[in-house]
Amino acid sequence: MDIAVIGSNMVDLISYIERMPAEGETVEAPNFAMGCGGKGANQAVVAARLGSSVRMVTRVGNDIFADNTIANFERNGIDTTYVLPTEATSGVAPIFVDEESHNSIIIVKGANALLTPDDVRAAEEDIATCRLIALQLEIPLETVYEAVALGKRHGIPVLLNPAPAQPDLVLAKVRDCEYIVPNETELSLLTGMPAETMEDVRNAASVLLDVGIPNVIVTLGERGALWLTADGEHVIDAVTVDAHDTTGAGDAFIGCFSHYLVADGDVLEALKKASHYAADSVTRPGTQSSYADAEQFERLRGA
Ligand code: RIB
């Protein structure tokens, strides 16, 4: 197996609205869409669509959403051995996207909150055959820490996407990650430093290097991305597109980066492809519904 994603799955309930409601206001949404989401599942689906073999470790609920989520993993060729049924509701995410493509997301973790360190240990033998572990923060932090420790035990590189931002994340417990990939907001929250100008971003990112994480990759939306190591930095330019729905673009970036990192081992090239892939995803509505497959992405890159 190429990649183990230990993380969340959600059902995205997306309302397309003209503008965000003010407090106490009711607004009408002209359009609604329901789709499979969750940061972990999104990243797994991207990597699988691009050709990686992916094992998902996650928990689904005992409701009408669970079968659909499992069927979706299977349709995308993802190994579901560790998609565990749980006496809880499935994770759901009401999402609001306005006409300027700004989004607001509420996550109700449901079964995702019950993915435990024991679940990770129970899957250890199979996770240990993977070449990369990808983690996000929609599952309990103790489970994330266990997965980082497992990666270290087996010499598997771990990529942590610290999203959504969690003030309680203990950096010392994730210092054994090989890659950390925050956006500006997450970077600022993790370090307690501003991350507005490029200089701010560099200063805050170097705090993560000092913690001991060798590769800090900050996604900067329209400004591209910054990859920092002890040896220097690379700025990855953004690809300009007409954005319709940016929901799940960060997951598109990370899933694509993970795929090419494992497939080719060239970090900079993988980042450039990830930037292109994420930009393409925002031209279509929805989260997983906006992700290209390998053939579509090849065509796009050749265009
Ligand atoms: O990153 C986008 C994702 O965040 C959505 O799919 C939603 O489910 C939330 O997890």
Give me 253's structure tokens.
């970036």
Count of CB atoms situated within 10 Å of the CB of 85: 12
Q: How far apart are the first and last CA of the chain?
A: 31
Instruction: For residue range 161-193, list pLDDT tens digits in order.
Output: 999 999 999 999 999 999 999 999 999 999 999
Amino acid residing at 85: P
3-state secondary structure of 153: helix
From the CA of 10, give the closest atom in ligand 1.
Answer: 8
User: How far apart are the CA of 176 and the centre of ligand 1, in A?
Assistant: 26
- Cα separation, 298 vs 292, whole angstroms: 9
Q: What pLDDT shows up at residue 175?
A: 98
Cα angle: 36, vertex 22, 109; to 5 degrees: 30
- Nearest one of 50, 251, 216 to 134, comparing CA atoms: 251
Task: Identify the residue whose C-alpha is closest to ligand 1 atom 1.
Answer: 248
User: How far apart are the CA of 232 and the centre of ligand 1, in A?
Assistant: 32
Find the mean pLDDT for residues 255-268.
98
251 is catalytic: yes
What is the side-by-side order of every strand in the sheet holding 103-105?
A: 31-37, 10-16, 92-97, 103-105
Decide: 40 in ligand 1 pocket, CB within 6 A.
Answer: no
- Kindly report the average pLDDT of the chain as a whole number: 96
Decide: 247 in ligand 1 pocket, CB within 6 A.
Answer: yes
User: pLDDT confidence of 303, banded at 50, 70, 90?
Assistant: confident
pLDDT at 88 over 80: yes
Q: Are 225 and 236 in contact (CB under 8 A)?
A: yes
Radius of gyration of the chain (CA): 18
Q: What pLDDT shows up at residue 236?
A: 97
Instruction: For residue range 8-32, list pLDDT tens digits in order.
Output: 999 999 999 999 999 999 999 999 9
**């998902």: which residue's tokens?**
56
- Cα separation, 193 vs 188, whole angstroms: 5
Instruction: For residue range 193-206, list pLDDT tens digits in order.
Output: 999 999 999 999 99
